[in-house]
Amino acid sequence: MSEQGSIPDRLVIAIGGNATHPEGIRGTPSEQAAVAAGLGEALLPVMELGNELIITHGNGPVVGKILMRQSIARHRVEPMTLDICVAHSQGGIAYLLMQALENALRARGNPRHVVCLLTQVEVDPEDPAFRNPSKPIGYFYTEQEAKDLAAELGWEMREDSGRGWRHVVPSPKPKHIVDISLVQTVARSGAVVIAGGGGGVPVVRSGRGQRHGVEAVIDKDRTSALMANVLHIGDLMILTAVPRVAINYGKPTQQALDRVSMSEIRALRAEGHFPPGSMGPKIDAAIEFLEGGGRRVMIGRLEDAVPVLRGEAGTHIVADEIA
């Protein structure tokens, strides 16, 4: 089922990186555990539906912190490449999520399992994103701090939607999710599957089928869209910090969107309503998902997950044929 107002039997949920590491926390173990516990409570009603469920998550704040730790310790400890940092963030975030989601289920007497699959995602080594870093990660900085870091560490720094300056890295498009059949098998077994974390570990493949990592962070919403398309899952839910997508954001004429067609959202994107540093990547992923055969993208707040599923909250972007 995938019409608005129904609960889908199969679902991919993409959780934003700021939901697993919100602004305003230091990132201590106790803070991270508390955030994860809150996620578990928010997603419990969805997990208890018993539907086929795959969860992806962002890693922007966390992988940026890993890079900063490395830069501070670089004269004592050899830094890891960015792909390994992504793998570290994928495993660490998934560990906290697995534990929190299962704890929430067990508190209700539900025996459902939650598992994580460390996920590699193939990209094109010639993707133009490698020549134009655009994915913001890590902390926000003042302009002077950004200039100092660029000079000291060679980081590419850009202003991010009026919120400050951030480190940006290449973000190539996902081409193939490695072992996607295993993701499908585990999801069909009844377990909640966490996969594609941080957009997946970015790798390229040689002509002989051998893979190696590359320095990049893939957009998790695009990976989520590709995963859902490949698995023929018609519903994608993107959970973020805002209740709905809006046009003219931050202006007196700001207007929240309830239900729009793919053609309508594409036209609004062409008018410049969705900046690259904020809602833009989510809208791009939504369009790609619908163009790839998806039927409905739901965008809303984490705490509104079930109302969003039922069509009572959030923004619903639907394929033209069902609009």
Residues labelled as active-site residues: 17-18, 135, 220, 282
Q: Using DSSP bridges, classify how beta strands 157-159 and 165-169 pair: parallel, antiparallel or unpaired.
A: antiparallel
* Residues 189, 282, 275: CA angle, nearest 5 degrees: 170
CB 183 within 8 A of CB 227: yes
Backbone angles phi, psi at 169, to 5 degrees: -130, 165
Residues 6+ apart with CB under 8 A from 146: 157, 165, 166
Structure token pair of residue 147: 């200039």
How many CB atoms neighbour CB 151 within 10 A? 10
Structure token pair of residue 31: 């803070």
Residue 126: closest CA among 201, 204, 199: 204
> Alpha-carbon distance 178 to 159, whole Å?
33
For residues 244-277, b (16+ Cβ closer than 10 Å) or e, as one string? bbbbebeeeeeeebeebbbeebbebbeeebbeeb
101 three-state secondary structure: helix
